[in-house]
């Protein structure tokens, strides 16, 4: 049963544009939630509360979350130059927005009980989640964590080596081998936010969302957030990756694996399943492959410097 | 070149001159001319491997590059040794006084790629320079490099005050040190064989700071080659490098993924600069 059909037992009351799980539209906006309740028991540190604009945002990893965190900062009237320095292990300045200790918007575990209650229940609040097509999100998770070698717990998870032939990284083959291996060890991989199903990160059963938008709906979301905050919310794109599309790397077998790994995202959020033709080889040229090696070296150096700074604290 | 006695008249660049007493080797560092590899070679000669090097808080973008931090390098520079050892190193016929030099065209391109294209942290980020040029999201390396060289020529006094962009003849203090060996980067293998003999153990340093592997010739056009020859006239004249016909460079434009990867490199280098600066403030 999808989230949407389940919700039909408590239908939207505003006649708003609640989305049906069709190929053309996933999610909904301005959904009325007159019987919203305060029952959130998980996810405290990934739920942001912008009191002034009456917006609650639930972070879903690999679904424009860096962009959304910058949006929240803009709603609070803060830009990159206003943020404190982060000593956390982030590999780029723009990713330091993930450091909770410097983000200008508090998470729900840090606000008063009254504000928490209001944010979770008031009909005047926007309760927002951004979701992403599971095929694209799985590729993006692999690219950012494995291919670009961000340091983190996943470096120790079971995984195949990257496939390099004549100094060129065979990105398509490497990704498909990874998905095969992830399937075997899904309990390890999906214990990590970047690879977990989105419905669990949204706490879909614990938050009465007014808006669930896909990443392709972001311009509309920014207009809404601008109106609510009275400030221009135009964060630009962040954490974009190599520009590879799902169609470039998925074949039908890998797609079926993805559908199994993310079955609840397809079922409850309503993403349509797609078929994929066998893609032509997706191979990075030698320059890009070399540059990836250089990225790895810099990630290591960032780890060293960040660790040294934190040892001072 | 047969060993000859030299004179003790060095007054500049002392922090770039390393003294390996046990091997009786004096090495003068020329940035962008295999200097990372040579610094690691000297560390190996001193019996120090990569696992034994202390941590550096400098803005070096990779672990191997921290070998440039003089405060942790196991081999002292000449300003830190005794007057007697300094005198011996500069004058004794038993000492090898070495510098590595590089073709000026290749060196200029390499300096631009590693410092500017990659946005490595350092004083050059504040020097006058044009933006990197992209077309449809693809970095146009050749056009960006050529625009840089034109700007560099306009602001030569600023750029060539930095050792990565300075003439090699100045960086190696050619008039102040009586070298026994001036070795082009193309002959490094032979040099390592001789250094191995000198210390009585094989030296196989890894190559470091290699870059994207692009052919520098493709980044030049004729006008840029002429500018390079003017800016590095002494290197061509005194080090014996030949002028080349670089008028047929095929241009260099990176693929979309390569361009995006370079952008990520830039992001990481900026972050490294931030973290290093913060660490140094605390220290």
ipTM of the complex: 0.90
Report which of A30, A223, A269 is spatially closest to residue A127, judged by C-alpha positions: A30
B41 to B48, B53, B62, B240: CA distances (angstroms): 10, 13, 17, 26
Q: Which regions of chain A are under pLDDT 50?
A: 1-23
- Contact yes or no for A276/A250 (Cβ under 8 A): yes
Q: How far apart are CA B63 and CA B129, in angstroms?
A: 28
Q: Are the beta carbons of A285 and B260 separated by less than 8 Å?
A: no
Half-sphere exposure of A159 (CA within 13 A, CB side): 20
Mean pLDDT on B52-69: 91
Burial class (CB in 10 A: 0-12, 13-18, 19+), B65: buried
Residues A84/A102, Cβ–Cβ less than 8 Å: yes
Confidence (pLDDT) at A1: 40
pLDDT exceeds 90 at position B47: no
pLDDT in tens, B187-210: 999 999 999 998 888 888 777 767
User: Which burial class, exposed, middle or buried, applies to B138 when counting CB atoms under 10 A from its CB (0-12, 13-18, 19+)?
Assistant: middle
Q: Which residue, B121, B119, B122, B130, is CA-closest to B154?
A: B130
Tell me the two tokens of residue B189: 């293998």
Tell me how far CA of residue A112 lies from CA of A53, A106, B150, in angstroms: 16, 11, 60
In this prediction, residue B209 carries a pLDDT of 63
Residues from chain A that touch B253, judged by Cβ atoms under 8 A, are: none
Q: Give the chain A residue nearest B280 (alpha carbons).
A: A309
- Contact state of B55 with A304 under an 8 Å Cβ cutoff: yes
How many Å lie between the alpha carbon of B178 and the closest alpha carbon of chain A?
38
Cα separation, B27 vs B30, whole angstroms: 9
Contact check, Cβ <8 Å, B214/A148: no
Question: How far is the C-alpha of B35 from the C-alpha of B21, rounded, in Å?
Answer: 19
CA–CA min distance A312, chain B (Å): 8
Q: What is the structure's pLDDT at B204? A: 80
Say what the pLDDT of residue B7 is.
83
Query: Which of A244, A287, A302 lies closest to B268 in CB terms?
Result: A302
CB A128, CB A210: distance < 8 Å:
yes
User: pLDDT tier at B250 (50, 70, 90 boundaries)?
Assistant: confident
Of B63, B211, B268, the CB nearest to A295: B268
Binned at pLDDT 50, 70 and 90, residue B230 comes out as very high
Would you call A85 an interface residue with chain B, using a CB distance cutoff of 8 Å?
A: yes
Contact status of A294 with chain B (Cβ, < 8 Å): yes
Residue B4: predicted pLDDT? 65
Of B60, B64, B214, the CB nearest to A287: B214
Q: pLDDT at position A101, please?
A: 92
Q: Residue A226 and residue A74: Cα distance in Å, rounded?
A: 9
């Amino acid at each position: 049963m999808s989230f949407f059909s389940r919700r039909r037992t408590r239908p939207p009351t505003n006649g708003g544009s609640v989305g049906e799980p069709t190929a053309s539209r996933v999610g909904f906006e301005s959904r009325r939630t007159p019987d919203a309740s305060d029952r959130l028991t998980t996810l405290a540190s990934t739920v942001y509360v912008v009191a002034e604009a009456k917006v609650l945002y639930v972070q879903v990893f690999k679904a424009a979350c860096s962009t959304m965190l910058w949006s929240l900062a803009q709603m609070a009237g803060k830009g990159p130059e206003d943020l404190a320095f982060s000593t956390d292990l982030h590999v780029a300045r723009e990713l330091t927005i993930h450091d909770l200790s410097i983000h200008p918007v508090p998470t729900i575990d840090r606000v008063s009980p009254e504000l928490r209650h209001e944010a979770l229940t008031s009909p005047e609040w926007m309760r927002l989640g951004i979701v992403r097509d599971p095929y694209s999100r799985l590729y993006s998770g692999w690219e950012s964590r494995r291919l670009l070698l961000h340091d983190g717990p996943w470096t120790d998870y079971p995984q195949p080596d990257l496939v390099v032939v004549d100094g060129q990284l065979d990105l398509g083959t490497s990704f498909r081998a990874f998905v095969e291996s992830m399937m075997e060890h899904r309990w390890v991989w999906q214990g990590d936010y970047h690879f977990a199903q989105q419905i669990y990160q949204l706490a879909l059963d614990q938050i009465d969302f007014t808006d669930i938008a896909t990443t392709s709906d972001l311009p509309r979301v920014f207009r809404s957030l601008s109106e609510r905050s009275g400030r221009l919310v135009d964060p630009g794109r962040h954490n974009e990756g190599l520009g590879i599309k799902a169609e470039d790397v998925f074949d039908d077998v890998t797609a079926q694996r993805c559908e199994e790994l993310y079955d609840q995202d397809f079922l409850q959020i309503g993403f349509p399943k797609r078929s994929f033709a066998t893609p032509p080889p997706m191979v990075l040229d030698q320059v890009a492959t070399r540059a990836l090696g250089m990225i790895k070296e810099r990630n290591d150096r960032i780890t060293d410097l960040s660790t040294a700074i934190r040892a001072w604290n | 070149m047969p060993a000859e006695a030299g004179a003790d008249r060095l007054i500049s660049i002392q922090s770039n001159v390393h003294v390996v007493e046990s091997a009786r080797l004096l090495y003068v560092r020329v940035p962008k001319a295999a200097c990372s590899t040579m610094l690691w070679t000297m560390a190996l000669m001193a019996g120090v491997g990569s696992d034994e090097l202390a941590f550096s808080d400098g803005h070096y973008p990779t672990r191997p590059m921290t070998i440039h931090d003089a405060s942790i390098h196991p081999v002292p520079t000449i300003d830190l040794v005794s007057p007697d050892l300094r005198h011996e190193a500069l004058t004794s016929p038993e000492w090898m006084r070495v510098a590595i030099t590089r073709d000026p065209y290749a060196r200029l391109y390499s300096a631009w790629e590693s410092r500017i294209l990659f946005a490595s942290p350092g004083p050059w980020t504040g020097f006058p320079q044009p933006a990197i040029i992209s077309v449809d999201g693809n970095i146009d390396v050749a056009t960006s490099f050529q625009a840089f060289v034109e700007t560099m020529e306009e602001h030569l006094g600023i750029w060539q005050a930095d050792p990565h962009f300075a003439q090699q003849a100045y960086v190696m203090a050619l008039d102040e040190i009586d070298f026994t060996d001036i070795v082009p980067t193309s002959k490094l293998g032979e040099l390592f064989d001789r250094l191995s003999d000198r210390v009585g153990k094989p030296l196989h340093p890894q190559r470091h700071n290699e870059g994207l592997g692009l052919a520098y010739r493709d980044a030049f056009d004729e006008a840029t080659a002429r500018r390079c020859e003017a800016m590095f006239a002494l290197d061509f004249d005194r080090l014996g490098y030949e002028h080349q016909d670089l008028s047929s460079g095929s241009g260099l434009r990176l693929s979309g993924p390569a361009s995006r990867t370079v952008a990520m490199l830039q992001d990481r280098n900026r972050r490294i600069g931030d973290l290093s600066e913060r660490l140094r403030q605390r220290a």
